[in-house]
């Protein structure tokens, strides 16, 4: 398998791979019920036809682009699903706000259902999807993106909810995050946003390139492979994933007293004990996302690098909410996009951004 | 920088028992023997990197963002050879963290209150270890005063004094109380030894403490052992007094039991059953009488003097079986529902050899008998049989049933007879080969004057026996006079039987 092969378009037949890949990069909620979204995306693509996947450089430099993505809780959106017209509605609202048409849609982050919404919006409006994203994984705040790092304005932002609220925000990126977070409760737990309006030329440097293709490639690997070693080897080729260790989940529960005030979750911990002679302890620290891997007290890797659990028996990714005591898992680490390892990237999405007083290994090792 | 902690420093164990760590929860119970000369309160993980070895690393509340931070601190502490880690309590610290502590061999303590206060308390204790040791001494003194037995007093030392194993060891190296490993410890271990006086003021045993690894100061341990000596000596004296008292009581009770009904009224109004049940004795059913004597027939300490040591050794070997001092030895009786005197003989002989009695003992065993009247008879038989055993090596047991006519000889006052014989046969005993001549004389008389049978018994030619008889006659002894033969036979028997 060619680890960098580009995917030219996303059609109905690619939906399974898209969903499986998006689960891998949204590892904390892998395994959640996304069947409605899978069906919805396939139906739209069958009705509207495949969506082209284009690189930023292939677009006219002046092409207006905007990101689409959900802010809020995955659980909430499963319980209170969208009606179906939200992607087109929110993007149209942004076009009205901007006073011009959008020529391409990019993902806010190509992970979990946020890998599907740009495809849905683009398909409904007959636009291409830019093969990039702003996170390369899932991060909890809408301003934790490479777009924000590059200085692209997060607003004007439009957002809609399950009860058809439609709001528009014009604010700085951190303020926009706070405002959206404040509205989520009232809105029903989730809001679909159209944000980061910009021109295609800016995405050449501000976006994490090839994200959508990578999601589909990883998805094809996960849906196609039948043996454990094949998956591990394939993930190394397609996502540069490494196995930190393998073992049995021996502990699950709260960790510490409370999370950072800016974070929408409290800390939890997962302990995997290796079943080898030396029996290493791999402690995963989480706040919605898996943030740290500490092996026998030594920090092995930390956010913004991606940590995920592969169930060795079912060969499926195991989300934080699905993992159980006794599960046999591989702990996988996927290095974040290089932009996240810059000082500014680590400040925005490194351990300190989650209130964790530890330096990322890249930062510590220089 | 001097990386070797001062031997004045306290151990983790001491801080757990008597210091601020007493109020914490230990995740593991091992590796408490390290000295703790420093304490450091850290609010950032990187601060641990600059801690000196053997430091007690206390994590500030602000550092405990999660169990991962505690485990990272444990790892850094281990890299710095820290003595222990103290962390504020937080959700998630559990079995896995304890597992890691065990792997890192680093004790971890969880404090429910303010860890900064714990750090201050630790610093105060570490700065002034004498205060903590004084607290330890005071605690031991209080506990010693509350304990009465040797085992209880040794228990105080072994449970309360960190890093110390102690035992009470007799002069011949036997562990009387405490940990038997102390007596076996090899060279290299640090030992403190203090003599314990007996009731007579003479050293009776030693109190030995082994200080494991780099334990608290030997002086502190020595002081604790000295504190323990007084209650130990008192306990021993008390034990001796109880033995003497109980033995005297048992002797009086046995007098009542062994007196037949018609005579008993004159001495006591106690019924035998009441006397026996009061002492927990079983006299109903079938029993075998046993009687112990000092092995040697030579003069030595009397029964009264020997009784505490003999009874104490008996109880160690035979448990609750009665042993009652009598005028010539000690009486006992064993249930014989399903065994014969021969079975008792084997068990008793082995026990007598193993017994750590102050003198070697021999025993006689009577015939199995029913009820109290039978027991009286059996004990009388045992006493006679034990007289026959006297003069043999310690542990020898004679059965009354096998004595036959020899029983009469057993009752002879051999020592007095021998002294008379020395006068009567002075001329013969002046000869250089008198031993050979006496042995030959006894053999000839034993065989009714038959020189052939005597020669066969002695393993020599008949002519040799005839030659010796000639020499005996030359000393004025006429073996053929019937009126002197019995006296001569007794004299030869006494001289041959007496211990050389």
Note the pLDDT tens digit of each residue in B25-58. Answer: 999 988 888 888 999 999 889 999 999 999 999 9
Nearest to B96 among A281, A292, A299 (CB): A281
Look at residue B294 and tell me whether its pLDDT is greater than 60. Answer: yes
List residues in chain B touching A: CB distance below 8 A: 44-45, 63-69, 71-76, 78, 90-92, 94-96, 99-100, 103-104
Q: What CA–CA distance (Å, rounded) separates A322 from B206? A: 65
3-state secondary structure of B295: coil
Nearest to A255 among B45, B68, B74 (CB): B68
Q: What is the pLDDT of residue B30?
A: 86
The conformation of residue B6, written as its DSSP 8-state character, comes to P
Q: What is the mean pLDDT of chain B?
A: 83
* CB contact A250 to B (< 8 Å): yes
B66·A267 Cβ contact <8 A:
yes
Which residue of A lies nearest to B76 if distances are taken between CA atoms? A297
Q: Using an 8 Å Cβ cutoff, are A194 and A157 in contact?
A: yes
Q: Does one domain contain both A267 and A154?
A: no
Q: How confident is the model at residue B499 (pLDDT cuts 50, 70, 90)?
A: very low
B18's enclosing H/E stretch is: helix B12-18
Residues of A in contact with B94 (CB under 8 A): 251
Q: What is the pLDDT of residue A293?
A: 95
Q: What is the pLDDT of residue A113?
A: 93
Q: How confident is the model at residue B3 (pLDDT cuts 50, 70, 90)?
A: very low
B176's enclosing H/E stretch is: strand B175-178
Q: Does one domain contain both A191 and A293?
A: no
Q: How confident is the model at residue A339 (pLDDT cuts 50, 70, 90)?
A: very high
Look at residue A41 and tell me whether its pLDDT is greater than 90. Answer: yes
Which residue of B lies nearest to A253 if distances are taken between CA atoms? B92
Residues whose CB is less than 8 angstroms from the CB of residue A304 and which lie 6 or more positions away in sequence, other chains included: A136, A137, A139, A336, A340, A341, A345, A346, A349, A350, A360
Which residue of A lies nearest to B63 if distances are taken between CA atoms? A357
Does residue A231 form part of some domain?
Answer: no
Note the pLDDT tens digit of each residue in A223-232. Answer: 998 899 999 9
B99·A273 Cβ contact <8 A:
yes
Residues of chain B with pLDDT > 90, as a percent, come to 15
Residues of A in contact with B96 (CB under 8 A): 250-251, 271, 273, 281, 283
Cis ω on the peptide bond leading into residue B248 (within 30° of 0)? no
Which residue of A lies nearest to B98 if distances are taken between CA atoms? A281
Look at residue A42 and tell me whether its pLDDT is greater than 80. Answer: yes
Closest of B128, B53, B50 to residue B84, by C-alpha? B53
B165's enclosing H/E stretch is: strand B164-170
B91·A257 Cβ contact <8 A:
yes
Angle at A249 between CA A243 and CA A255, to 5 degrees: 100
Which phi and psi angles does A155 have, rounded to 5°?
-110, 165
Look at residue B281 and tell me whether its pLDDT is greater than 90. Answer: no
Q: How confident is the model at residue A5 (pLDDT cuts 50, 70, 90)?
A: confident
**How close, in Å, is residue B14 to chain A by CA atoms?**
27
- Return the higher-pLDDT residue of B447 and B280: B447
- Return the higher-pLDDT residue of A300 and B390: A300
Which residue of A lies nearest to B62 if distances are taken between CA atoms? A357
A271·B91 Cβ contact <8 A:
no
Q: Determine the average pLDDT of the residues in B495-500.
A: 65
Q: What is the pLDDT of residue B4?
A: 54
Which CATH number applies to B282-410: 3.40.50.1220, 2.120.10.30, 3.30.70.270, 3.90.1150.10?
3.30.70.270
List C-alpha distances in Å: B48 to B80, B114, B365.
Answer: 8, 19, 77
- Return the higher-pLDDT residue of B192 and A126: A126
Does residue A233 form part of some domain?
Answer: no
Nearest to B65 among A251, A254, A356 (CB): A356
pTM: 0.63
Q: Does one domain contain both A147 and A24?
A: yes
Q: Determine the average pLDDT of the residues in A50-68.
A: 96
Look at residue A62 and tell me whether its pLDDT is greater than 90. Answer: yes
Q: What CA–CA distance (Å, rounded) separates B33 from B17? A: 12
Q: How confident is the model at residue B2 (pLDDT cuts 50, 70, 90)?
A: very low
Q: How confident is the model at residue B483 (pLDDT cuts 50, 70, 90)?
A: confident
Does residue A98 form part of some domain?
Answer: yes
Look at residue B373 and tell me whether its pLDDT is greater than 70. Answer: yes
Look at residue A262 and tell me whether its pLDDT is greater than 70. Answer: no
Joined tokens for residue A240: 């540069």
CATH fold group of domain B10-127? 3.40.1390
3-state secondary structure of A223: helix
Which class in CATH covers the domain with range B414-497?
mainly alpha
Lowest-pLDDT range of B16-20, B104-108, B296-300, B385-389: B296-300
Give the count of domains, chain A: 2
Q: What is the pLDDT of residue A364?
A: 65
The CATH number linked to A265 is: 2.40.390
Which residue of A lies nearest to B90 if distances are taken between CA atoms? A256
Crossing angle (nearest 10°) for helices B462-474 and B451-458: 110
* CB contact A331 to B (< 8 Å): no
Look at residue A30 and tell me whether its pLDDT is greater than 70. Answer: no
Joined tokens for residue B184: 């076996």
Q: Does one domain contain both A258 and A130?
A: no
List C-alpha distances in Å: B454 to B429, B439, B444, B451, B494.
Answer: 20, 10, 5, 5, 18
Q: What is the pLDDT of residue A100?
A: 95
A297·B92 Cβ contact <8 A:
no
Cis ω on the peptide bond leading into residue A156 (within 30° of 0)? yes
Look at residue A36 and tell me whether its pLDDT is greater than 70. Answer: yes
Note the pLDDT tens digit of each residue in B146-174. Answer: 887 888 888 888 888 877 888 888 777 77
Nearest to A257 among B44, B73, B90 (CB): B90
Which residue of B lies nearest to A280 if distances are taken between CA atoms? B100
Note the pLDDT tens digit of each residue in B131-143. Answer: 778 888 888 888 8
Q: What is the pLDDT of residue A331?
A: 96
Q: Determine the average pLDDT of the residues in A66-82.
A: 91
**How close, in Å, is residue B90 to chain A by CA atoms?**
5
B103·A296 Cβ contact <8 A:
yes
The secondary structure of B320-354 as a DSSP string is T---EE-SSSEEEEEE-SS--HHHHHHHHHHHHHH
**How close, in Å, is residue B88 to chain A by CA atoms?**
10
| ipTM summary value | 0.83
Alpha-carbon dihedral sign for residues B185, B187, B188, B190: positive
- Return the higher-pLDDT residue of B497 and B101: B101
Does residue A2 form part of some domain?
Answer: no
Residues of chain A with pLDDT > 70, as a percent, come to 94
B67·A269 Cβ contact <8 A:
yes
Q: Determine the average pLDDT of the residues in A190-202.
A: 97
* CB contact A355 to B (< 8 Å): yes
Q: Does one domain contain both A13 and A161?
A: yes
A292·B104 Cβ contact <8 A:
no
Q: What CA–CA distance (Å, rounded) separates A212 from A195? A: 18
Domain with CATH 3.30.70.270 in chain B: 282-410
Q: Does one domain contain both A184 and A243?
A: no
Look at residue B488 and tell me whether its pLDDT is greater than 90. Answer: no
Q: Determine the average pLDDT of the residues in A48-65.
A: 96
Joined tokens for residue B210: 């082994």
Alpha-carbon dihedral sign for residues B177, B178, B181, B183: negative
B65·A269 Cβ contact <8 A:
no
Residues of chain A with pLDDT > 90, as a percent, come to 75
Q: Does one domain contain both A161 and A309?
A: no
**Which residue in B67, B73, B85, B101 has the most chain A C-beta atoms within 10 A of its own C-beta, making it the best mutation to test that interface?**
B67
Look at residue B260 and tell me whether its pLDDT is greater than 70. Answer: no
Q: What CA–CA distance (Å, rounded) separates A212 from B11? A: 60
Q: What is the pLDDT of residue B265?
A: 47
Q: Does one domain contain both A249 and A206?
A: no
- Return the higher-pLDDT residue of B269 and B209: B209
B66·A269 Cβ contact <8 A:
yes
B66·A358 Cβ contact <8 A:
no
Note the pLDDT tens digit of each residue in A172-189. Answer: 999 999 999 999 999 999
**Which residue in B42, B45, B92, B108 has the most chain A C-beta atoms within 10 A of its own C-beta, making it the best mutation to test that interface?**
B92
Give the highest mean pLDDT range of A24-28, B218-222, B382-386.
B382-386
Domain with CATH 3.40.1390.20 in chain B: 10-127
B45·A357 Cβ contact <8 A:
yes
Residues of B in contact with A296 (CB under 8 A): 71, 75, 100, 103-104
Does residue A232 form part of some domain?
Answer: no
**How close, in Å, is residue B37 to chain A by CA atoms?**
25
Q: Are strands B38-42 and B55-59 parallel, antiparallel or unpaired?
A: parallel
Q: Taking chain A, what is the end-to-end CA distance rounded to the nearest angstrom?
A: 33
- Return the higher-pLDDT residue of B500 and A176: A176
Residues of B in contact with A271 (CB under 8 A): 96
Nearest to B72 among A255, A256, A299 (CB): A299
Q: What CA–CA distance (Å, rounded) separates A89 from A109? A: 19
Q: Does one domain contain both A50 and A199?
A: yes
Q: What is the pLDDT of residue A222?
A: 92
Q: How confident is the model at residue A54 (pLDDT cuts 50, 70, 90)?
A: very high
Q: Does one domain contain both A59 and A164?
A: yes
Q: Determine the average pLDDT of the residues in B375-389.
A: 86
The secondary structure of A270-335 as a DSSP string is EEEEE-SSS--EEEEEEESEEEEEEETTEEEEETTSEEEEEETTT-SEE-TTT--TT-EEEEEEEP
- Return the higher-pLDDT residue of B373 and A348: A348
Q: What is the pLDDT of residue B230?
A: 82
Q: What CA–CA distance (Å, rounded) separates A311 from A331? A: 9
Q: Does one domain contain both A162 and A280?
A: no
Q: How confident is the model at residue B413 (pLDDT cuts 50, 70, 90)?
A: confident
Look at residue A302 and tell me whether its pLDDT is greater than 90. Answer: yes
Q: What is the mean pLDDT of chain A?
A: 91
Residues of B in contact with A357 (CB under 8 A): 44-45, 63, 65, 69
Chain pair A-B, CB pairs under 8 angstroms: 83
Residues of A in contact with B78 (CB under 8 A): 297
List C-alpha distances in Å: B281 to B229, B278, B321, B382.
Answer: 35, 8, 9, 18
Q: What is the pLDDT of residue A338?
A: 94
Q: Does one domain contain both A166 and A118?
A: yes
Closest of A174, A108, A105, A104 to residue A135, by C-alpha? A108
Where do runs of H (alpha helix) occur along B331-425? 341-354, 371-389, 400-403, 406-410, 414-424
Q: What CA–CA distance (Å, rounded) separates B8 from B20? A: 18
Look at residue A256 and tell me whether its pLDDT is greater than 90. Answer: no
Residues of B in contact with A255 (CB under 8 A): 66-68, 90-92
Give the highest mean pLDDT range of A46-50, B260-264, B275-279, B345-349.
A46-50
Closest of B34, B7, B161, B9 to residue B107, by C-alpha? B34
Structural domain of A154 = 9-211
Q: What is the pLDDT of residue A265?
A: 61
Look at residue B305 and tell me whether its pLDDT is greater than 50. Answer: yes
B68·A292 Cβ contact <8 A:
yes
**Which residue in A272, A281, A297, A364 has the most chain B C-beta atoms within 10 A of its own C-beta, making it the best mutation to test that interface?**
A297
Q: What is the pLDDT of residue B1?
A: 40
* CB contact A294 to B (< 8 Å): yes
Choose one of A158, A193, A211: the last residue of a domain.
A211
* CB contact A273 to B (< 8 Å): yes
Alpha-carbon dihedral sign for residues B413, B419, B423, B427: positive
Nearest to B92 among A269, A294, A357 (CB): A269
The CATH number linked to A42 is: 3.40.1610.10
């Amino acid at each position: 398998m060619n680890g960098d092969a580009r995917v030219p378009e996303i059609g109905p037949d690619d939906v399974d791979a898209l969903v499986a890949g998006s689960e891998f990069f949204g590892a904390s909620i892998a395994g959640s019920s996304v069947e409605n979204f899978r069906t919805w995306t396939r139906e739209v693509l069958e009705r509207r036809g495949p969506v082209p996947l284009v690189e930023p450089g292939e677009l006219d430099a002046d092409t207006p682009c905007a990101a689409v993505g959900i802010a809020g809780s995955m659980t909430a959106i499963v319980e209170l699903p969208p009606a179906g017209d939200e992607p087109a509605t929110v993007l149209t609202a942004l076009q009205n706000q901007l006073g011009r048409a959008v020529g391409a849609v990019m993902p806010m982050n190509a992970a979990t259902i946020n890998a599907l919404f740009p495809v849905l919006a683009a398909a409904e409006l007959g636009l291409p999807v830019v093969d990039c994203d702003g996170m390369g994984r899932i991060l909890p705040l809408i301003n934790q993106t490479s777009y924000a790092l590059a200085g692209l304005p997060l607003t004007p932002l439009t957002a809609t909810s399950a009860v058809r609220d439609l709001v528009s925000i014009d604010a700085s990126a951190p303020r926009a995050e706070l405002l959206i977070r404040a509205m989520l409760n009232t809105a029903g737990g989730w809001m679909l946003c159209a944000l980061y309006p910009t021109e295609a030329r800016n995405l050449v440097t501000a976006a994490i390139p090839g994200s959508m293709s990578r999601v589909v490639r990883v998805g094809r690997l996960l849906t196609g492979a039948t043996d454990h070693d094949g998956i591990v080897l394939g993930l190394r080729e397609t996502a540069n994933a490494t196995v930190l260790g393998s073992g049995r989940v021996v502990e699950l529960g709260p960790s510490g007293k409370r999370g950072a005030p800016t974070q929408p979750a409290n800390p939890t911990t997962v302990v995997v004990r290796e079943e080898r002679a030396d029996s290493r302890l791999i402690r995963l620290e989480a706040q919605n996302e898996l943030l740290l891997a500490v092996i026998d007290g030594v920090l092995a890797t930390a956010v913004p690098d991606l940590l995920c659990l592969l169930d060795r028996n079912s060969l499926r990714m195991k989300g934080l909410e699905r993992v159980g005591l006794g599960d046999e898992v591989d702990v996988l680490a996927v290095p974040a996009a290089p932009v996240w390892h810059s000082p500014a990237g680590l400040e925005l999405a490194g351990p300190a951004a989650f209130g964790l007083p530890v330096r990322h290994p890249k930062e510590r090792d220089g | 920088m001097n990386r070797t902690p001062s031997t004045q420093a306290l151990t983790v164990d001491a801080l757990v028992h008597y210091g601020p760590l007493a109020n914490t929860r230990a995740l593991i119970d091992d590796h408490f023997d390290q000295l703790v000369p420093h304490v450091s309160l850290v609010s950032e993980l990187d601060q641990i990197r600059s801690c000196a070895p053997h430091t007690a690393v206390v994590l500030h509340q602000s550092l405990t963002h999660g169990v991962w931070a505690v485990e990272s601190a444990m790892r850094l502490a281990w890299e710095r050879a820290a003595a222990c880690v103290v962390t504020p309590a937080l959700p998630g610290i559990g079995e896995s963290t304890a597992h890691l502590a065990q792997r890192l061999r680093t004790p971890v303590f969880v404090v429910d209150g303010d860890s900064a206060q714990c750090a201050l308390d630790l610093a105060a204790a570490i700065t002034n270890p004498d205060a903590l040791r004084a607290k330890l001494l005071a605690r031991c003194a209080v506990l010693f005063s509350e304990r009465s037995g040797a085992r209880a007093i040794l228990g105080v030392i072994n449970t309360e004094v960190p890093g110390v194993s102690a035992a009470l060891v007799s002069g011949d190296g036997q562990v009387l109380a405490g940990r038997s490993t102390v007596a076996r410890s090899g060279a290299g271990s640090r030992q403190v030894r203090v003599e314990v006086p007996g009731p007579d003021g003479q050293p009776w045993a030693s109190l030995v403490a082994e200080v494991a690894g780099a334990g608290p100061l030997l002086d502190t341990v020595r002081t604790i052992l000295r504190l323990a000596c007084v209650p130990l000596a008192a306990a021993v004296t008390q034990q001796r007094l109880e033995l003497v008292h109980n033995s005297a009581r048992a002797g009086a009770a046995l007098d009542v039991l062994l007196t037949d009904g018609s005579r008993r009224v004159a001495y006591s109004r106690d019924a035998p059953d009441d006397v026996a049940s009061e002492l927990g004795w079983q006299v109903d059913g079938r029993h075998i009488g046993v009687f112990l004597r000092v092995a040697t027939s030579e003069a030595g300490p009397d029964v009264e003097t020997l009784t505490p040591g003999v009874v104490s050794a008996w109880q160690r070997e035979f448990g609750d079986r009665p042993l009652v001092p009598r005028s010539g030895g000690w009486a006992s009786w064993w249930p014989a529902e399903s065994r014969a005197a021969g079975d008792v003989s084997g068990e008793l002989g082995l026990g007598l050899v193993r017994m750590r009695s102050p003198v070697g003992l021999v025993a006689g065993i009577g015939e199995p008998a029913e009820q109290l009247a039978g027991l009286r008879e059996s004990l009388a038989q045992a006493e006679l049989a034990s007289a026959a055993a006297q003069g043999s090596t310690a542990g020898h047991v004679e059965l009354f049933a096998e004595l036959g006519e020899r029983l009469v000889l057993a009752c002879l006052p051999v020592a007095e007879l021998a002294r008379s014989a020395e006068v009567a046969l002075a001329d013969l005993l002046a000869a250089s080969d008198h031993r050979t001549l006496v042995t030959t004389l006894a053999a000839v008389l034993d065989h009714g004057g038959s020189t052939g049978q005597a020669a066969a018994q002695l393993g020599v030619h008949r002519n040799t026996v005839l030659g010796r008889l000639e020499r005996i006659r030359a000393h004025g002894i006429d073996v053929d006079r019937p009126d002197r033969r019995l006296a001569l036979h007794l004299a030869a028997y006494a001289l041959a039987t007496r211990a050389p």
